[in-house]
Structure 1
């Protein structure tokens, strides 16, 4: 296969380096891992690409065959952290002494609830759109771009107008996103996986109810989600499904991205349909995430769903984060990263100092790994104190997974704020429509999505279509 046609995220020769990196993270440091790494290096295999999903050169048949063999050997090695970071839902619940089942808070009335759900959809789109053109650009580059165009501290969408050529050359935009996500070009919400997955969650709930299974998730994906619109762990799991592999093995087989951010970006809607019930939201998120993720990858989804369920009925983002953290095993790496972030956000007035402290703990990880991203989401919510602009601009300015984090923080603060109070600088360019390759949603309005979400909440408990 030529380099121009190479598929990111699924080629075996591109996965070995990532899997070796993952092995170091989940505690597999023994001689078996070192022997595999030595065999890979001696054969000419490369380390994990720093920011891309595919290496620059295609592999020969011999290297690809070796990669498949080594991936299977790595998959078979036990994970020493399994006790502190379990995968099974019952074990996760047992590991969480502070698990929050329900919040003793009256839900908002019908009009306020609809406004909150509308705000969640709008906020998710706006936060995602802000982060799209600077995805893959590090923190220093984002600041230099914003300062050069008079948009620092961030107060609106990015622009190329007035951007010096030297800055543009040094920090090139995300080429797929910039044509439709710079403020001078925005005409509605362009397609993004951070919106496609919430749409799929809406379809899943409409078809199967809140009692859906992981197999139902897989079925909806195969019916509605183009494979080319998946990335990292989702693309690997999709490939595994097509190979006849069934969940939960889809999440583990040759999948070094199983603790990355993918499941976290799919969890919001599963929180919205469980208002005030973080425990049920976390269980739903686990059933969705088990298709693609393990351990901290699962916890990121559960954390986000639980805090989103809390945000439907609460007004304090710090309490929402607390509810989210209650469903995460306290001895896990994700819990530790989020606690660091919350502590920093409470102690530091300067957001840059907050990010410095998070990076000191998680900066060795890939920018799409769930730990730094969950930490930044939590910190931005606490530090932004419910202000939409302050919260989304903080999390996007950090330079990690900018569109995904902007989407999650935008959705949570949109819930807290409600659509009517969201600033027009963010909502007007969306023109109440989004683009999507998920059938039936292209051109849909955010008000329509709010109505469809509200309709799910009006179903009797346990109702299955």
Structure 2
């Protein structure tokens, strides 16, 4: 049995990378692991090809415990506590006020729809690297990407070399799409909606943990969320849930959970970031936290701003300026601003992104945040162009596409997204949460109603 994101020998390989990134000297542990026959190269897909023999697995457990007992050097530019984070931030921006209720609902409906469409575009090629995505598209006559992926006309040798995401492809290729299939990138905002409906803006991280246990199937959580879920079941307290045997604590998982926490606080990027921090600290630290805060701020800004640049400027204000996430977002924006949209310019920009972050796992927060910032900037507010750039980059394609789609969809509303992208969704989202399939319009109505109740709650 290959248990992804949980086998000690796989966790150790990832922890060697994560601990080193935090400034811990891992050379001795790494040498002992390699000398015993362990593989120090992290598994790409969540688990190595075969489970380790018992003795090697036990050594992995022992070495993980040793690394956990070794404190990382102080990181004053990348704190975990809310007050320490706020002390590093610039003043919160003054954004336009809430548009009319009808206009606000159109923004929210666009954000939900755009998130689903962007996620769906990237689903078939999740885990496929950038060069594989290009070869698939060229061989099916769809390069550069400007529509859904298809298996029609795909040569057998290309399909064998770059296999689709087996779980996603049957329902996310152009010839098969009928509504938005189940995906964790949509499960989480639906879960966040329920969280706020139950607890309001004063929810605690422990409330998030309980909601996971009550509603989120353990088999539908991955990377840091799977580690945190295990820690919750082991009765470990927050924030130890984010650190114990969790080498994925700076990956993208928290970023994909928090769009809605901004949608319900239109224009309040600092408030949205505070809610995102409370959610994210269950499973993430440092830049993993900041990614969630940034995504929530993007969500809050897209409901009131009029341009992608304004949204990005507003969201910058919730990211610690000396953090690695700030550097990633800055690089993405700079490359996007210089990109004229031509194939050579896009290629050059993606080459630079991969030169900067190609050593990271494809689910890390830094490379994907840089991609999101690049796609939003270079997309210039065009929905199709923006989500296609996010997916073409070739890291966490469905998550990056979802976040980009939510931002641009919120700015444009459903009509501005275009029938090409909205029609196949059929206005519905499948989910593995209790209650099953959801209507996008119903989710938007609940979001708008929730925003009104949160405003009343704050006023009291």
Tell whether the structures are fold-level matches, with TM greater than 0.5: yes
225-234 vs 206-215, greater mean Cα deviation? 206-215
1:27-426 matched pairs, under 5 angstroms: 27-29=23-25, 33-80=26-73, 82-96=75-89, 99-349=90-340, 350-426=345-421
Gaps of 5+ in 1: none
Aligned-residue offset at 1:191: 0.5
Distance 2:56 2:457 in 1: 51
CA distance in 1, matches of 2:204, 2:381: 33
- Number of equivalenced pairs: 455
Q: Is the 8 A contact 2:151 2:173 kept in 1?
A: yes
Deviations 1:184-223 (A, max 9, x none): 0111111000010111101101111112110110010000
Q: Is the 8 Å Cα contact of residues 341 and 357 (structure 1) preserved in structure 2?
A: no
State the shift of 1:237 in Å: 0.2
Kept in 2: contact 1:159–1:183 (CA 8 A): yes
Does the CA-based 8 Å contact 1:144-1:167 persist in structure 2? yes
SS in 2 for 1:133: helix
Distance (whole Å) between structure 2 residues aligned to residue 128 and residue 6 of structure 1: 27
**1:279-319 per-position Cα deviation (integer Å, ceiling 9, x unaligned):** 00111100000000000100111111112111110011112
Separation in structure 2 between the aligned mates of residue 376 and residue 234 of structure 1, nearest angstrom? 22
Residue 81 (structure 1) shift: 5.1
SS at match of 2:411: helix
Question: TM-score, normalized by length of structure 1?
Answer: 0.95
Structure 1 counterpart SS, 2:201: coil
Q: 1:450 aligns with which of 422, 444, 449?
A: 444
- Residue aligned with 1:259, SS: coil
Distance change in 2, residues 1:249/1:432 (3 Å)? same
- Structure 1 Cα separation of the partners of residues 88 and 300 of structure 2: 21
C-alpha separation between the residues in 2 aligned to 1:193 and 1:66? 33
1:9 maps to what in 2? 5
What CA distance in whole angstroms lies between the structure 1 residues aligned with 2:406 and 2:99? 17
Instruction: Return the alpha-carbon distance in structure 2 between the equivalents of residues 379 and 58 of structure 1.
Output: 38
Gaps spanning 5+ residues in structure 2: where?
none
CA shift, 1:103, in A, is 2.6
Structure 1 distance, partners of 2:439, 2:83, is 39
Distance 1:437 1:114 in 2: 26
For residue 48 of structure 1, report the CA deviation from its aligned partner. Answer: 3.5
**Partner Cα separation in structure 2 for residue 111 and residue 421 of structure 1:** 16
CA distance, structure 1, for counterparts of residue 91 and residue 124 of structure 2: 37
Relative to the length of structure 2, the TM-score reads 0.96
Q: Shift of the alpha carbon at 1:462? A: 6.5
TM-superposed CA distance for 1:102, in Å, is 4.7
TM-superposed CA distance for 1:420, in Å, is 2.5
Secondary structure in 1 aligned to 2:434? coil
